[in-house]
Structure 1
């Protein structure tokens, strides 16, 4: 069944915070277009046991942990009084709530809305997030006791946005690990189609309250040994954790046109599924991913050969990347008349794996690519993995900044996210090519 219907869901606003001090859309695009490395050393202001963490390889069976990751510079920055929150309550709040709240505000401004006066519409808020162990245990008594219930509740990542901005529609946090953000977009779009809300914010946040993910993947010997994330590369040595926040604003196209909102993209189709039983829960499934991608293409109502850009999951792991590439090849790899195929990349090469927020950082990369009419390079893509036949696959890695010509005024792209919980998400987008005046205005917004 097509998701398009007569009045498709469109993306009309967005905002982002990413590692390397990136907190604007213009800054994010520049970093991607220039193929910047946004990684940096572990933060020294979070009380993490860095000496122990960086010496894990000295213990038999554990992998090396480099002093490297994709960390937000402004994770601790927050103006509580601006949002009507007391300073004591703000300290007790998971940083994911704080950062998501300010990014939501900017996403609304990017839409052309006044976040302090959103009217009486039923507005939804769907956020992806995972618990990252911020703060002391709930049984520890301190001056913040009494604020800990809402401060540490995962559901409050969305609930805090709804409370502070006066959103009275559905307010939901989705935790399906690394697929959380695209799953949140899918659920928000479904809610709008089902008239559960008039329009919605959808996105995800990841700020690490502890380095637990580094410990876990060190034990599994799945961390990058050189402190870089190299998706789809022969040189890939494992993944590298990062942080980030991305939020988009969704509504029906008729509403967007009535209110004069810019349309970044139509969400032609989105789907989520699960690997099911068989392999261990954390092992990806080519079969499940292929089923998901085919279902999304069917919902979008387009031929797969129209898709010219694929923002893949691409964690840089020896197991996950080849399985993902096989699924993509089966759906998008059919030979084309001009002998080319879709360009493939992953923003994880710039900033690491932002976990619950990874899919949204990739989605916003795609939206900005459509806006600028260019496809940014994926770092470390000069030596593609030899575990797939690239000539036969029809896929090509984006190794340099390239112009992206529209097809009859539209650019088509796809985005994937796959979670360690076994949940998979995929979305297909159609982005109208803006005229030069619109592009100039957006670039300087």
Structure 2
């Protein structure tokens, strides 16, 4: 199997509004579990756990940004809104301005397990409108992304219960390798709007009373529900490297299978889990012993954890050094249709940062699992990675559809190209549909940039090469030697007050005296576009001046002041 690169990603999970905060949550072993939001349901009335992994402001949506009318936006499943926003940011993270994808054969593959919005809206028969119709349906979550970005590649929603989004990744990988598309977005989304599924877990004996999953822990006592959305941008590795894309991680191999007739429709099968891992290892061309860590399914149920540990033991028992094992469900709860993509993004970030985060609840490992004998261990402290590293990722559906993936750290890329000359200053640009939105954008960018230490140059270049433009604009100039903290400070100082209906261009012809030695020399060396036009103009002038005006400028010759 050829490899596929993860070139961009975005996510939003409980306690983590973006990938940066998600990584921060994982590294500190944080807990995204909270009380059921008041606007969802009252556990005292409906029953079920009173806590879970919930998104703050899950209904927030900038409909004007996507040119969606307020009426249509109000009728959309929140999962559609979340996935549309997440897809947009994932493409930007991959260095792609989303509007430039229009007309391309980009594929969209979305995993989704539930549509509680449909339960709430389609049962109100008198209130059904055309907007309610297009606002519902699993397919529409994927279709909405392709429609708004004008993507022409394969587009589908996948429901295999808890493994949905990793199966979506598997399908996206196969579409890339078969040449069905050259770029794909794969993701998953889950929102809990009613207590129905929580009540099912409870009455089936699967629910954790405190709403927390405790994977492989002595305290494991069931599933806690979680929400979230995540997406990755995928390309064939050779294409990504040829185009100089940033690569978070490499997908070496994926596999999907089914339990068939197990001990019950919702009961896991150790043998099928073993086989799906083996198939992924074969397709990746790796030995199980080379896998450094595995992001497990890890629901925190007694039966599920036991079956999964035994399946892993078939390939990892007897290792000289036990393989690290964890599950992001300990931090977020079980995000159901988004569980697989949550695990994939965790693994991709771990390989990117060369660190495997701690396993939440690792302090009290379930002694009945006898993990050490099975060649497994939970991480009580982060694991630093050295050299190329391999990781496994499992996601198992409640109905028996299993998925496993093998990922590898991104290859080291050597470049011999000389860096462009340093510029004296950089320009950071921001746009929005209107002035209030621009002010919100300024505040959000200032907060985001202020949290990290990043070179100013790439931030500024991305702001105008990757971001799509709107009518109202702001630009901030920062010195090349200034850091991201100075840029954040400058963004906070901006006070846009008036809308501008498009850019205004002014041309100033000053006549004699405005030029100076070396004027434009630095731009000539750093910009091929400017260089091409100045060379052309110089060639035309040469028949009249008998001296190269370009050379006078580049060498700082005082003859540039001569009017002729």
Work out whether residues 210 and 224 of structure 2, in 8 Å CA contact, stay in contact via their aligned partners in 1: no
- 1:416 shift after superposition: 0.3
Q: Pairwise mapping of residues 19-418 of structure 1 onto structure 2 (< 5 A)?
A: 19-20=14-15, 22-46=16-40, 48-53=41-46, 56=47, 65-134=48-117, 136-138=120-122, 140-141=124-125, 145-335=129-319, 339-406=320-387, 410-418=388-396
> Structure 2 length normalisation: TM-score?
0.72
Q: Which has the higher helix share?
A: 2
Work out whether residues 253 and 280 of structure 2, in 8 Å CA contact, stay in contact via their aligned partners in 1: yes
Query: Aligned equivalents of 1:324 and 1:299: distance in 2?
Result: 21
Tell me how many residue pairs correspond in the alignment.
Answer: 421
Query: Aligned equivalents of 2:10 and 2:92: distance in 1?
Result: 9
Query: Aligned equivalents of 1:425 and 1:91: distance in 2?
Result: 35
> Structure 1 length normalisation: TM-score?
0.90
Work out whether residues 88 and 144 of structure 1, in 8 Å CA contact, stay in contact via their aligned partners in 2: no
- 1:228 shift after superposition: 2.2
1:235-293 Cα distance to aligned partner (Å, 9 max, x none)? 11111000111100111122212322111122110011000013211000000000110
- 1:425 shift after superposition: 0.4
- 1:49 shift after superposition: 4.1
Q: Pairwise mapping of residues 420-431 of structure 1 onto structure 2 (< 5 A)?
A: 420-431=398-409
Work out whether residues 96 and 206 of structure 1, in 8 Å CA contact, stay in contact via their aligned partners in 2: yes
- 1:24 shift after superposition: 1.7
Query: Aligned equivalents of 1:151 and 1:434: distance in 2?
Result: 44
Query: Aligned equivalents of 2:103 and 2:43: distance in 1?
Result: 48
Give the secondary structure class of the aligned counterpart of 2:104: coil
Query: Aligned equivalents of 1:38 and 1:162: distance in 2?
Result: 31
Query: Aligned equivalents of 1:293 and 1:152: distance in 2?
Result: 35
Give the secondary structure class of the aligned counterpart of 2:53: coil
- 1:367 shift after superposition: 0.9
Work out whether residues 92 and 144 of structure 1, in 8 Å CA contact, stay in contact via their aligned partners in 2: no
Which residue, out of 6, 19, 26, partners 1:11? 6
* Bigger RCO (CA 8 Å, 6+ sep): 1
Give the secondary structure class of the aligned counterpart of 1:85: coil
Give the secondary structure class of the aligned counterpart of 1:12: strand
Work out whether residues 5 and 236 of structure 2, in 8 Å CA contact, stay in contact via their aligned partners in 1: yes
Deviates further, 426-435 or 152-161: 426-435
Query: Aligned equivalents of 1:181 and 1:37: distance in 2?
Result: 22
1:291-315 Cα distance to aligned partner (Å, 9 max, x none)? 1100110110011111101000000
Tell me: CA distance 1:165–1:247, structure 2 relative to 1, closer, same or farther (3 Å): same
1:432 aligns with 2:410: yes
- 1:141 shift after superposition: 4.2
Work out whether residues 49 and 198 of structure 2, in 8 Å CA contact, stay in contact via their aligned partners in 1: no
1:3-53 Cα distance to aligned partner (Å, 9 max, x none)? 22xxx2111111000001x2221111111101111111101123x243223
- 1:119 shift after superposition: 4.5
Query: Aligned equivalents of 1:309 and 1:344: distance in 2?
Result: 6
Query: Aligned equivalents of 2:264 and 2:123: distance in 1?
Result: 34
Tell me: CA distance 1:434–1:367, structure 2 relative to 1, closer, same or farther (3 Å): farther
* Structure-2 residue corresponding to 1:61: none
- 1:115 shift after superposition: 0.8
Q: For structure 2, list consecutive stretches of 5 or more residues without a partner in the other structure.
A: 414-451, 460-564
- 1:231 shift after superposition: 0.2
Query: Aligned equivalents of 1:397 and 1:260: distance in 2?
Result: 36
- 1:433 shift after superposition: 6.6
Query: Aligned equivalents of 1:379 and 1:434: distance in 2?
Result: 31
- 1:143 shift after superposition: 5.5
Give the secondary structure class of the aligned counterpart of 1:208: coil
